[in-house]
Structures are given as C-alpha cells and as structure tokens.
Amino acid sequence: MNIIQTFERVEKLHLLIANKRTGKPDELARRLGISRATLYNMIEELKSYNLPISYSKMQQSFYYEKDVKLSCTFSIQLIENQKDLIQINGGSYISPISSECTYGINLIAYSHLLNTKSSHRL
C-alpha cells in the first residue's frame, strides 16, 4: 500500500466513522479495499493517538465517542537547487562518487559542507 493510498484510506475511514456510516467491519474493510485485519490495525493506530473510537452493534457502525477533527496532510516538493537541499539536510548534500574510484559502479555519498561552496572529491 503506498503512502498516498494510506492517507486517502485514513481520511475515508475518518469520515465514515464521524458520520456513523461504516457498516460492519467486513463491509468497511471491503469498502476501503483492505483486509479486516488491516482495518483493525488502522483503527488501533488511530486509537493510539487518543481518538475515542468505539463500535455499536445496534447501529452496526464504528463511531467517535466525542467530536473529532482529523487532518491528514502529505506534501511533495521538488528541490531545484543545492542551497535548498543543504538547508533541508542540515548542511549535508548528496553527490555521486566518480565511477573511476568505484570501477564503473555508480554510488552515492553524503558530503558535509562547512560553509564552503567547494566540492569534495573522493
């Protein structure tokens, strides 16, 4: 399961729980495209963040015992320059090692910059 699908499933699960429209666990798992075991793992994960989730046999639905606001965000950002990459990685950047040093095998090494723009060669 990729991370975007996971976020989408968590949001869908939250909306169904908030509206008390989950149905029985088997039905809910099928709606989310996951196994029943995965559904219960997701619910336990949400409960670990202190979300008050319960199940009503009479309503045949999971529900929140209190009002809950859940916000899931995921961001992808293209890093276009070395300065931004250095800032994100705390002064480190990724640079390829010359294939001459590795007998034609391309490797990636982390190089640490100490307020200099000079490149390091291995």
* pLDDT tens-place string over residues 25-47: 999 999 999 999 999 999 999 99
User: What does 46-109 look like in DSSP terms, one character per residue?
Assistant: HHHTT--EEEETTTTEEEESS--------------SHHHHHHHTTTEEEEEPPTTTTTT---EE
Give bridge partners of residue 109 from the DSSP assignment: 95
pLDDT in tens, 76-115: 777 777 777 666 666 555 554 444 544 544 444 444 444 3
Q: Whole-prediction pTM value?
A: 0.62
What is the residue extent of each domain of the chain?
3-64, 78-122
Looking at domain 3-64, its CATH class is mainly alpha
Closest CA to 67 of 108, 14, 27: 14
